[in-house]
Structure 1
Amino acid sequence: MAKHQEEVYRLTGLSCASCAVTFEKNVRNLNGVSEAKVNFGASKITITGAATVADIEKAGAFDGIKIVENNQSETFQKKRLWQGNLHVIISALLILAGLILQANLGSGHPIVTSAFLAAMVIGGYSLFMTGLNNLLRLRFDMKTLMTIAVIGAAIIGEWVEGSIVVILFAISEALERYSMDKARQSIQSLMNIAPKEALIRRDGIEQMLHVDQINIGDTMIVKPGQKLAMDGQVLQGRSAINEAAITGESIPQEKQSGDFVYAGTLNEEGILEVEVTKYVQDTTIAKIVHLVEEAQAQRAPAQAFVDKFAKYYTPAIVLLGALVAIVPPAFFGQIWSDWIYLGLAVLVVGCPCALVISTPVAIVTAIGNLAKNGVLIKGGVYLEEAAALKAIAFDKTGTLTYGKPVVTEFLPNEKYHDQENLLAIIGALESQSLHPLASAIVEKAKLEGFDYEGLNVQNFRSITGKGIEGEIDGTFYVIGKPEYMKGIVTTEDYRQFEGHVLRLQEQGKTVMLVGAEDQLLALIAVADQVRSISKNTMKQLALSGVQNTVMLTGDNQRTAAAVGKEVGVTDVRAELLPEDKLKVVKQLREKHQHVAMVGDGVNDAPALAAASVGIAMGGAGTDTALETADIALMSDDLRKLPFTIKVSRKALTIIKQNIIFALSIKAIALLLVIPEWLTLWMAILADVGATLLVTLNGMRLVRMKDEDEAHHN
């Protein structure tokens, strides 16, 4: 049945980057198809228009491409290297038989020639079909070069070398396909991480349902040791949830009623009843998979350079091969067969396999590795930007700090007779206030076990910008700023605490004094706690070469300076409005070019957008962070930032190594033409060797681990 809207299909058998381009063009030329876009990294195609699966597969028959509908991704299976490459094995056996027969019957014997011809046809059938088709359309890619070389070798009677070229090229393609499949496995493992069924209670009846049948509002029952199939909010129960699949954080998180949980995470302890809050296609894990696959389709600047270079490089190689084959015998009296052979060898050695695969294998592997470690990068361009960072700006609240004020000091006046109930009285008064700092004091009273709720507060009043006051059991209490309280309490009492007030304010803490009548009862200091990992993160960033770290905050200069000193940033910008943060980021870009902004993805949206790379904290809980940021740290864990830069720089280094190596191998092999040393088998071996080495070099990124995270755990 024809499809009339945009459809996404997953592909099996997509062997190489150039095949992806050819397949895309073939599908685009189908009747009823208005647009087709192949994502080579994710191995899928998006088609707009009307086309049958049969027609689409026919368009990819040249490369053995098969289609699996996007929602059937669980049918994918890991394949061994030899699976799907039977033609390569048969071709290799025929070549071996041909060599044995040649040793006994002679090189010109019809049986020997037939063995090599059969090896060429079986091993290179798809190669020839595509190559001849390209040749008719004057489209020059690696398969075109190989086809010309093999047919040319057969014409001049080089059957052995022609068949070896076919088998080595087939092996090269098999290795490329296998390595790209390995690189894609990190994303396929994410796709399959959430169960396809869940135990659902609906209308009082418990039943196992496929995730596609689960609705928002259903109650999902998750037993210990089970993975969650859907995103939702805990209704009942308490448990530890391992969220490593989403955040990369292996330490289980305590979850209870009211907390949000995510599909693909593991329930380790108690039974949970969870209200489903998202459909299966909208879950956090589904969004991560989608965004990572889109990221793998985005071409990095290095890849864009390679693609553009290959566009001109391949026709140039065809021209060079023709000149090598024709000029020496035509103008200098050399032997035609010798120079035609060398011209064919030039075509083979010029095949851009290694060059074309050099970039995508590194990018796909790096993005996949980071995704498994809880870092979402939205494209190769941001991977390269992260590698080039010279400065990083951090929002203070919620990024370098927890964003939740806590009581750091509680100093009662020793002269006050009823110290035991003092915290309960303060908690009762602050529970009436809506001030952000009041919640910290109430939480302190609660943690200490004081029954502040049992106290009756009367005549409560909030004095804007100064403090609060109220009456409990006939006594009138006031809690306020030191400047305000100075005029209320006795001078002797105030002087007793004055040194503490100044010391704590210099540390960037908010100080409040508690009084009753004219007596000073206690001092309370409240502060937004600095994350324990912030200081170590700044050290790791400095070691990785990011020397400029800037903290941006709306806090006053004194508080900001104290936090900045504790964290270890190189610069502090305080008393900033959101538009001021934007200006600072623009200034940093003018000075350093490559600048990142780290924030929560909501309040810092303008600054995130203005930076070279916008990095959002805690992407697991906020859709906004996933949508607006270029990089999302899925957990509230700054330690992922140095690791991201490390992987990015390693990926960029590997890409440069691969490009240089691939071109150097070609250059050395082409120089062998001058002394007439270059042979067909040497040429193809150089190409296969280069392809294999750049692929293995790119795959090294799979093994990169977050050492700081491992050490922390």
Structure 2
Amino acid sequence: MHEHGEDKENVVKELIPIAVSSILFIVGMIFRESLHEIPVFEYGVFITAYLVAGWKVIWNAVKNVRTGVIFDEYSLMTIATAGAIAIHEMPEAVGVMLFFRIGEFFQDLAVDRSRRSIKSLLEIRPPFANLKIDERIERVKPEQVKVGDLIIVKPGERIPLDGVVIEGSSIVDTSALTGESRPRKVGAGDEVLSGMVNVSGLLTVRVTKPFSESTVSRILELVEKAGVRKAKAEKSITRFARYYTPAVILLAVSMAVIPPVLLAEPFSPWIYRALVLLVISCPCALVLSIPLSYFAGIGKAAKEGILVKGANFIDALSKAGVVAFDKTGTLTKGSFKVVGVIAKNGFNEDDVLKFAALAEMHSNHPIAKSILEACKVSGSVESYEEIAGMGVKVKVNGDTIIAGNDALMHAEEIEHDTCRVEGTVVHVAVNGVYAGYIIISDEIKDDAAKAVEELKMLGCRVVMLTGDSRGVAEIVARKLGLDEFYAELLPEGKVKIVEKLESENTVVFAGDGINDAPAIARADVGVAMSGLGSDAAIEVADVAIMDDMPSKVAKVIKLSRKTQRIVWQNIAFALSVKGLFIILGSFGMATMWEAVFADVGVSLIAVFNAMRILR
């Protein structure tokens, strides 16, 4: 609320000089004939209006000259209007400054609107943490809390640090992190992240990361760095303005001096033409609207829960020809679960599941965990042997149990008639007799098919790179309608495929884990999916998606292409209109009022065009 009030106060402060200058300008124009007879009054009204509207421009021109920046839009405006006053074209001088000030006012409003999209992310910084010390609660800065400490999060408070809930249950609002409005239920054992808002219950959280490494700190760091990397168009316009402005001033001086000397004509009309040329040529439309377009693009993406680390990545994303996804945790949920049990040789489904669970009791593998979640067991393990790349062989409660892949069944010479089964399968044998198999599935994410469809509509080829088996990869690729897939890849294998794809197209690679970090770093644009997850992935990525929705990849590519279109529309529009008016001004066919339109009008149109990105 305080910030909103401050913004309103700034708007009022800016409107006061505009209103005063406008009133003086209108009075001067209405009573111009009368004022002309009393020069002191005429100069008093118009010069006052001029200074009230234009003191910022004049002061900026003086400051820039002191620092060695002689040729910029402020010096152009100051020289042009001072020249107009010198040749007694005072209404024009006031008009230029007044309309320029009005234009700047609307431009600032547009920039503020764009900035607010990113500012909303900065508001996720937690102001304090309720640290639990013995039986008392002490309010401290989040930076003072250590890993392992307990913090209390009350309803309505923002969670200050990453941690695990050890007591209590609640609904949390994750919209500030993910851009999604859906609330999430958390209870004991669930992970919570800094920046989430505790909506309902009281939570006791054990801190798992210091504040410097927390989710909110990483987000803030990304946002602060986003404006540093300039896009190619921004750099080109900056260079263009550096040479363009002195060239225009030289041209204006030549126009004011050479024709009247050669043609033996009065200087006054040619000086007027030169001044018109200076106003027309001001590069404000390009210098302001192009960075604003990229800024608006980054702001819109941030609002959607997508952090783009710089304007240069907006450029690269707009050219994407191939989008490569990791599978587990990116296109699929990364949480395995038992979806089917097939029993053989007199065993029933419960038997197969129970024996598999007994075999996997001491394993931390995700597949083993899914079996243990499906069937809770206990037993006395007499022997345990892990067979690399195949499975396990154990003796539990007097039974010898073998659980693993088809290769393990062949290695142990277990007779079975189900060698080829689609998906991830765990075969089970008890005391040398084949008991059956369990089908494990890693669920495909809800919006993965939508992501593939939208990317194809954008003209991108969609590829999957995975370390999983070919059979499992083939099932996922078929279900999603992927163009191509590569399976059984180690991290370096993913890098090689990315390099191969890059020889033909701009490649975007999206992954979520530490094993994806090399490929994310190698791609033209690396995207960290579930940006709240792997530190390694988010560190090397160019784009971080703050939830685990693959469809956001299509969304950010679409947004980047829209931003690029608007940038080039603004460049073409500004250069063509200014070019036309420069020609008209050179032949004396454009007045100072038309010059004002060619400058302020074009700038405003370009800025409002740029703001379409935020819709």
Structure 1-normalised TM-score?
0.80
1:267 aligns with 2:201: no
- Deviation, structure 1 residue 484: 4.6
Residues 159 and 419 (structure 1 numbering): CA distance in 2 closer, same or farther, change over 3 Å?
A: closer
Q: 1:413 aligns with which of 335, 339, 344?
A: 344
In structure 2, distance between residues paired with 1:185 and 1:126: 25
Partner of 2:557: 645
In structure 1, distance between residues paired with 2:504 and 2:458: 20
1:657 aligns with 2:581: no
Residue by residue, what CA displacement relative to the aligned partner does 1:527-586 show, whole Å, maximum 9, x if unpaired? Answer: 43333322221111011121x222222334333333222222211222322222222211
Partner of 1:292: 223
Q: 2:493 aligns with which of 580, 605, 615?
A: 580
- Deviation, structure 1 residue 112: 2.3
In structure 1, distance between residues paired with 2:596 and 2:533: 51
- Deviation, structure 1 residue 244: 1.4
Residues 460 and 209 (structure 1 numbering): CA distance in 2 closer, same or farther, change over 3 Å?
A: closer
In structure 1, distance between residues paired with 2:383 and 2:514: 39
In structure 1, distance between residues paired with 2:603 and 2:220: 28
Partner of 1:618: 530
Residue by residue, what CA displacement relative to the aligned partner does 1:439-464 show, whole Å, maximum 9, x if unpaired? Answer: 22212214xxxxx12x4444444445
1:86 aligns with 2:38: no
Q: 1:322 aligns with which of 253, 261, 277?
A: 253
Residue by residue, what CA displacement relative to the aligned partner does 1:15-68 show, whole Å, maximum 9, x if unpaired? Answer: xxxxxxxxxxxxxxxxxxxxxxxxxxxxxxxxxxxxxxxxxxxxxxxxxxxxxx
CA contact (8 A) 1:325 1:340 kept: yes
- Deviation, structure 1 residue 414: 7.5
In structure 2, distance between residues paired with 1:236 and 1:488: 47
In structure 1, distance between residues paired with 2:260 and 2:22: 34
| Bigger shift: residues 295-304 or 250-259 | 250-259
- Deviation, structure 1 residue 234: 2.1
- Deviation, structure 1 residue 420: 4.5
1:111 aligns with 2:41: yes
Residue by residue, what CA displacement relative to the aligned partner does 1:225-248 show, whole Å, maximum 9, x if unpaired? Answer: 333234333232222322111122
Mapping for residues 393-412 of structure 1, pairs under 5 Å: 393-412=324-343
| Bigger shift: residues 466-475 or 621-630 | 466-475
Residues 569 and 702 (structure 1 numbering): CA distance in 2 closer, same or farther, change over 3 Å?
A: same
Partner of 1:425: 355
In structure 2, distance between residues paired with 1:226 and 1:132: 49
1:530 aligns with 2:439: no
Residues 107 and 189 (structure 1 numbering): CA distance in 2 closer, same or farther, change over 3 Å?
A: farther
Partner of 2:153: 222
1:304 aligns with 2:235: yes
In structure 2, distance between residues paired with 1:636 and 1:551: 16
1:515 aligns with 2:429: yes
- Deviation, structure 1 residue 305: 0.6
The code of the aligned residue for 1:96 comes to I
For the residue of structure 2 that corresponds to 1:298, the secondary structure is coil
Q: 1:683 aligns with which of 581, 589, 595?
A: 595
| Bigger shift: residues 96-105 or 147-156 | 96-105
- Deviation, structure 1 residue 194: 4.1
The code of the aligned residue for 2:43 comes to T
CA contact (8 A) 1:221 1:274 kept: yes
Residue by residue, what CA displacement relative to the aligned partner does 1:123-170 show, whole Å, maximum 9, x if unpaired? Answer: 222322333455685711111111111111111111111111111122
CA contact (8 A) 1:194 1:265 kept: no
The code of the aligned residue for 2:368 comes to A
- Deviation, structure 1 residue 648: 0.7
Partner of 1:188: 119
- Deviation, structure 1 residue 517: 4.0
Mapping for residues 474-493 of structure 1, pairs under 5 Å: 474-482=398-406, 484-485=408-409
In structure 2, distance between residues paired with 1:598 and 1:298: 21
For the residue of structure 2 that corresponds to 1:605, the secondary structure is helix
Task: State the number of aligned residues.
Answer: 612
The code of the aligned residue for 1:378 comes to K
1:562 aligns with 2:491: no
In structure 2, distance between residues paired with 1:382 and 1:404: 31
Residues 571 and 113 (structure 1 numbering): CA distance in 2 closer, same or farther, change over 3 Å?
A: same
In structure 1, distance between residues paired with 2:211 and 2:98: 45
CA contact (8 A) 1:161 1:680 kept: yes
Residues 419 and 356 (structure 1 numbering): CA distance in 2 closer, same or farther, change over 3 Å?
A: closer
CA RMSD of aligned residues (A): 2.7
1:128 aligns with 2:40: no
CA contact (8 A) 1:354 1:690 kept: yes
1:245 aligns with 2:176: yes
In structure 2, distance between residues paired with 1:368 and 1:428: 53
Residues 627 and 485 (structure 1 numbering): CA distance in 2 closer, same or farther, change over 3 Å?
A: closer
Give the % identical residues.
35
Residues 181 and 420 (structure 1 numbering): CA distance in 2 closer, same or farther, change over 3 Å?
A: closer
CA contact (8 A) 1:586 1:611 kept: yes
Structure 2-normalised TM-score?
0.92
Q: 2:85 aligns with which of 154, 157, 164?
A: 154
In structure 2, distance between residues paired with 1:381 and 1:660: 20
| Bigger shift: residues 623-632 or 156-165 | 623-632
Residues 100 and 622 (structure 1 numbering): CA distance in 2 closer, same or farther, change over 3 Å?
A: same
For the residue of structure 2 that corresponds to 1:672, the secondary structure is helix
Residue by residue, what CA displacement relative to the aligned partner does 1:370-392 show, whole Å, maximum 9, x if unpaired? Answer: 12221111111111101111112
CA contact (8 A) 2:414 2:429 kept: no
CA contact (8 A) 1:489 1:517 kept: no
- Deviation, structure 1 residue 699: 1.3
CA contact (8 A) 1:292 1:368 kept: no
Higher relative contact order (CA 8 A, sep 6+): 2
- Deviation, structure 1 residue 696: 1.1
Residues 557 and 278 (structure 1 numbering): CA distance in 2 closer, same or farther, change over 3 Å?
A: closer
In structure 1, distance between residues paired with 2:92 and 2:160: 55
Partner of 1:99: 29
Q: 1:231 aligns with which of 158, 162, 177?
A: 162
Partner of 2:582: 670
Partner of 2:106: 175
For the residue of structure 2 that corresponds to 1:390, the secondary structure is strand
- Deviation, structure 1 residue 326: 2.3
Residue by residue, what CA displacement relative to the aligned partner does 1:252-302 show, whole Å, maximum 9, x if unpaired? Answer: 233233433233312233211123455556542233233222211321101
Q: 1:389 aligns with which of 305, 311, 320?
A: 320
The code of the aligned residue for 1:249 comes to E
Partner of 2:605: 693
- Deviation, structure 1 residue 475: 4.5
| Bigger shift: residues 88-97 or 355-364 | 88-97
Partner of 1:21: none
The code of the aligned residue for 2:26 comes to L
The code of the aligned residue for 1:607 comes to A
Partner of 1:630: 542
Q: 1:352 aligns with which of 273, 283, 286?
A: 283
Partner of 1:544: 458
In structure 2, distance between residues paired with 1:218 and 1:420: 43
Residue by residue, what CA displacement relative to the aligned partner does 1:202-229 show, whole Å, maximum 9, x if unpaired? Answer: 3422244455665655433223333323
| Bigger shift: residues 91-100 or 271-280 | 271-280
CA contact (8 A) 2:514 2:536 kept: yes
In structure 1, distance between residues paired with 2:15 and 2:268: 34
For the residue of structure 1 that corresponds to 2:11, the secondary structure is coil
CA contact (8 A) 1:296 1:363 kept: no
| Bigger shift: residues 360-369 or 188-197 | 188-197
Which structure 2 residue ranges, 5 or more long, are not aligned? Answer: none
The code of the aligned residue for 1:565 comes to R
CA contact (8 A) 1:175 1:692 kept: yes
Residues 513 and 84 (structure 1 numbering): CA distance in 2 closer, same or farther, change over 3 Å?
A: same
In structure 2, distance between residues paired with 1:575 and 1:617: 21
